Structures are given as structure tokens and as C-alpha cells.
Structure 1
Amino acid sequence: MKRKLTVGNKVLFLLCAMYFITYIDRVNIATAAPFMQKDLNLSTTEMGIILSAFAYPYAFLQIFGGWIGDKVGPKKTLTIVGAVWSVTTALTGMVSGIFTAIIARIGLGLGEGAAFPTATKAMSQWLPKDKFGYAQGIVHSASRLGNAVAPPIIALLIVAFGWRESFFIMGVISVVWMFIWMWYFRDNPKNHPKMTAEELENLPPYVSKSEQSKIPIPWKALSRRILPVTFVDFCYGWTLWVYLTWLPSFLFTSYNLDIKNSALFSAGILLSGVIGDTLGGVISDKIYRKTGNLKLARRSMLIVGLTGSFIFLLPTLFVHNLTLIAVSMSLAFFFLELCNAVLWAIPMDIAPKHAGTASGMMNTGFGVAGMLSPVVFGFLIAVSGNWQVPFIMSIVLLGVGVLVTLTIDPSKQLTEPDLPIDKINPETKIGV
């Protein structure tokens, strides 16, 4: 008998589409860069400034964007930010110089900065607790797939229509997603016309926006619990940004590959992360269901992922063989991506009522890594004259990440501040 797709799974599919589209929207400029640089008469330095402009508002908006998602709700928040990133993506095709290009990229960072923390809030309301890791694995696999397929997709659009038109087309696709989300999603799963009583029974108690607004965010306690996760996310993000920004150049420079072959090798390596993202969440949830030990389920995957990436990056220091390096870097990226779903699931475990804010705090580590890693990596190459030195730094940070992971305990859910008994909602056990 064919299993019917639940409403929750359809919402998860919509979020997968969002992660896929947003990653193409944020990296499409890398493929269009040579054409933009030529048409707009930009120097390499100016193009670098444009490329990095996205990361700053994206990093600084994580916490505030997650807080907005908690207070306003995922439906309205993702609709608004979806409109922002759609418009700014399309406007990138209309830029006339460095100033307008920087403004467009800053706008894209502002639009996408709140997207993932708010999506995490939606997942915390629409999925059972024992599927948090699975859900995060699936959506982030979609983002990695978007990152891997962006170069050939954007290249085809540029060849067929032009670099400006490639941004217009992606802007239209983003707008279509925004309208579908606005039409289909409900903040309260109970209000969805297709929701069944059986599916609703397995979901966490719904916290309404009015109730959420009355829940004070325990900033000090939340920061204390999330800070180690933020640091591990920084260690993870440092190496991930190396893959996203320097991998083609590493293969091109160290192994004398042409642009086409370096892109193909890069895509093959990055695709291994799609598998790692999904498996990390699935395995972590499976451990939790079998043992009931959330600390074991989350910690073990982080330790395995960071350690595996540490081990398989070591050959970059000693081996100069394209095949071996491609295999070892693929395995390193696979293990690294085992961590991603778990890192996003932990804020949902620790603070489900503040999932947007908590995940925003966590992902600030990734955002800061995005600002520093590409610049420091390039600086170390320029100073040292070889690729081994910056890879050593990535390997060291992965080792430090393993040690910090031992301080994370997601099994202890953050408790809300004490409230008078007459201010407690008997259904949700929170203030009214």
C-alpha cells in the first residue's frame, strides 16, 4: 500500500526548496563574476569586495532574524524575507557599478540572514522531536545540492541569455517559492486544512504568537548553553568556507587543472556533502530513538564528523597526487557535513520555544567564519607561498572543535523563568 505524504513532510519539502534556491542565489555571483567584472570594468579587488558583502549582514542578522521568526512566526517572516532576497537577486542583474552591486549583495544578506533560523522555528513546530536531526539533514542536503549545481545551472543561463538575465530568472523562481509558502504554510499546524488528528498528536504543543510574545527570552542562560555550540559551528564553518571559496583555486593552482576540470572535481567533492548532511541527521535521530540518550546521539555524531574530517584532511599536508587528494577531500567533506544537521538540531533540543533565536545564536559562528576564513586562508597562502599552512589551521580548529563538543549537553532542555500559577497555560505549560 502506498504511503501517503503527510502535511509535515510537504512543509519539509517546501523548506528543502527554499534552502536549495537560497544557496543558488547566494553563490550564483561566483559563476557570473568574470562577466560582471568585464562589463562593469571592475578590478579583482573590487570584485572581491562585492563577493564578500553578503557575509556581513548575513552574520549579524542571525540572532535578530531568529528572534523575529520566534515572535512574528515563520509564515510572515519567511514571506517578507523571501520577498527581500527575491528582489535583491533580480536587482543584481541591473547593477551598474561597484556601489550598486555591493548594495544588492548586502540586501541579499539581509534577506537570507533570517531565513534558516526562522525555518528552524517552523520545523520545531511541524515535526516530532525525534525527527529534528533528520529534518535538518534533509534541508541542508538541499542547500549543498544547490551549491554543487549552481555553477553549471548559472553557466547555462549565462550562455543562453546573459549574466544579467541569469539573476532575473533566479529572482522570479524565488518569488514563485515565496507565494507558494505564503499560500500553503500555517504557523499553527492545527489550522492547516489537510492536517490529521493522528499527525497532530505526534507534534510538540503549539506556542501561539501571543503566547510567544509573553515568554521572556532568558538571554543569559540561553547564551551560556548555546555558546559552545556556536564555537563548534565556527570550527565547522571555517573549514566549510574553505571548500566553498578556495577549493577550485586549490585544484587549479596545485594540480594545473584547467577551469573546466577543476570545476568538475570541485563539484564531485562537494556532492559528497549532500550524502553526509542527510546521514548525520538520520543516524543521530536513530541513536536517540534506540537509546533515549540525546547527549549521546548529538555528541557522538559531532565527534565522529569532526574527527573524520580532521583525519582525511591530513593528506593535504603530505600527499601530492590528484586522485588521492580528491578522494581524501571528498571523505573529509563527507565527515564534516555529518555535523551540520546535528548543529542545527541542538538549538531545537535545548530551547524549542526559542528555536529561532537559539539557532540564530548558533549560526552566528558560521557567519563569523564566513567573514574570516576566506580572507585569512588567502592571506596565509600569500605569506607562506604554499597551501599547507592554511590547511594546518583548518585541521587544528577541527581538533579544537572535538574538545569543545565534550562540553555540549542538549539533553538538558532550557527551563523557562518561574511564572505565577495563574499565568500558566495548562496546555502549553507556558505563560499566558
Structure 2
Amino acid sequence: MIGGGIGGLTAAAALHLCGWRVTVLERARSLEPVGAAISLSPNSLRALDVIGLGDEIRDLAAWSGDGGLRTPSGRWLSRSSADAAAERFGGPLVLLHRATLVERLTALLPADAVRTDAAATLADSGETGRPARVTTADGELEADLVVGADGVRSAVRRALFPGHPGPVYSGFTTWRVVIPVPGAAFASHETWGRGRIWGTHPLKDGRVYAYAAAVTPAGGRAPDDEKAELLRRFGDWHDPVPAVLAATRREDVLRHDVHHIAEPLPAYHHGRVALVGDAAHAMPPTLGQGGNQAIEDAIVLAHHCDDLPAYTAARLPRTTAVARQAVKVARLNLMTSRVGTVVRDTALAALSKAGPALFLRSFDGIADWRPPQQPYASGQTPAGNR
């Protein structure tokens, strides 16, 4: 695996449980993610069931529970029901810190499988009868399968498809914090304004995960610091936004421009190399499906590890559709037109009154996905190293 994020680690765990000898090469000095939580929907939790991790993650996660969508003044546009979502999609929507998921995935691997501070370059994608080759500072490695899990700026993707235009700017930037907020007691919610959104969600460990997004030119930075920028943009929004900002230190705030792959790749494999996650299909976070789709990729890849064209056939149409829907949602929740936002909010309020099931329909075909094989126990004995 080139890349030790969620997609790479899930692929490593799934392949290891299928009997492969795996090595994860991560250029960072640590696997510990910083400053963000991840929302896992029923589709990825069922994928994690395949490697015996689904129930453990469900138990560790902060349950999203009831919540909804609000305006900056605090008016509820719609209310969501955890029970309705679980009934419709066959499982809960849960939230946990990324570090928790990374820790549990790493625990499924042999102690020597993960190498940090290990930058790697794809030297040869290989073909039938010839292994793929990866160059590292410690020498060259040969592999029957290389998994490119190196993110939105994937060097593996560029090596496989040099003519592809790569990611484009999605038109907005994001801020994220995970912090303790004394006395915090509120329902999970997302708030849509004009060209701005805010989300606040409690975690099971007592901390709060908050994120914000705003339409802004690429490459921008606050003239002073990012906490001050958040105060300027969101400081007068409804409770608990001011309380979260008051509890936030300048160093707690992460800011990243959002990019996505607008033109789908011709395939998610070439030779003996397969791409997973953002390396294959980076998408805006507006559906909360980036990490979920990476987990799906990993499980499907392990299922089709001896037939990479079948992996592409299974994943490319689905992830392309999900990515396009995420782009459409970004245009809706980050629209800047004053008239457009009034029409949007009125329609959402009417839709909510018609019943929560109508609002959940946007996740039909996404959250109800199931893996290609039945779950098997994480204690399964591998069939032997490959």
C-alpha cells in the first residue's frame, strides 16, 4: 500500500485477512490523523463487518442521533431521525474521531506491516508475468499488487494516467476543529447560509467536532489567524456556534481548500496497481462519503484482488455517481444567491414537513450498499501468504 490513510489501511487489513503479506508505506512520520472526525454510514459499516470491525466501531462511535438542518438564525429547516435512517438503510449513522478508526484498522495488521516516514514511488506498474516495483529510500520492493492510496494529489494516479487532468478546485474551503466545549449539550446539526455552512456534532468522548465551509478563491488564508476568520464569518450564528468558537484556540483550527476529480478516470487499475479512495475519485465532503467510499473500495478490491478489471467494473460507475451527487449537493448548500437560498430553504422546510423519509431519499443507492461477500470474522485464519 502506498498511503496509510483509511483506504490504504482498510485495504491492507482486508488483504491480510485473505492471506496476503502486506506492507503499508506512509510518508508521514505518524499515522495519527489530526483534527477531524469521520461520519460512517451503514454502507461502510457493513464493509467493515467483512473484516470483523463493524460492531466494534459501532460501539466505539458517537451516535449521531436525532438532529437536523438549520438556518444561521437557528430556525430548523428539517429534523432528522436516527431511527428512520436506521430503518431505511439497515443500520445507524455514526461519528467518531479518525484516529480511533486508524488505531483499530492498524491493530488488525502484523506489527511490522506499517512503515512510517517511508515515502514511496511507483517505478513499474507491472503486468502478467512481471511484478510491480516500488522505490523507497531503503531500496526497491516488488509486489504482486500495489494499492495507490495516496490521496487527492496521488502520485500513483499520475504515474498510471499521465494524461488525466487531475483534481480541480471545488470552489470552497473548509475549517475543522475537534475540541472540548464545557457544558455543551445540543443535537447534531448542520447550518446552511449564503455561501457558507457550519456543522456541530458531539463525540462519544465528550469532545465536539465542528466544521465550516465557505465559498472563497483558492489558496486564501486569513490575514491574522483562522479562528479570527471563523469569528468574522460565523460568530453571529445561532447557539452553540459562538460557544464552540469561544472554546477554540487558534492552533486548533485546520483549514484546507477542497478539490475533487471532475473527469472520471478511465479505470481504477493498470497492470498490477489499483487505486482506492481519493486517489481514484476525490469528491467534495458534502455527502460525507469520501471515507465511506474508500472503505468500500478496499473491501471490494480484496474481493477482486486477482481480477483488477472486475474491481474497476464494480467501483468506477458507483463512485462516479456518488461523486457527481456530492458536487450537486455542494452547489445547493453553498449557493450564494440571496433569492436562491430563500427558495432552497423554503423547499427544504416543506420537504421536511412531508416526512423524514422524503429527505432520506437522497441517500438511496448510497447508504444501502452491501459488500460483495458475506461478513467473516476478524479471527479467521489466513489461507497463507502470497
Q: Which has the higher helix share?
A: 1
Fold shared by both chains (TM-score > 0.5):
no
TM-score (norm 1): 0.26
Q: Which has the higher strand share?
A: 2
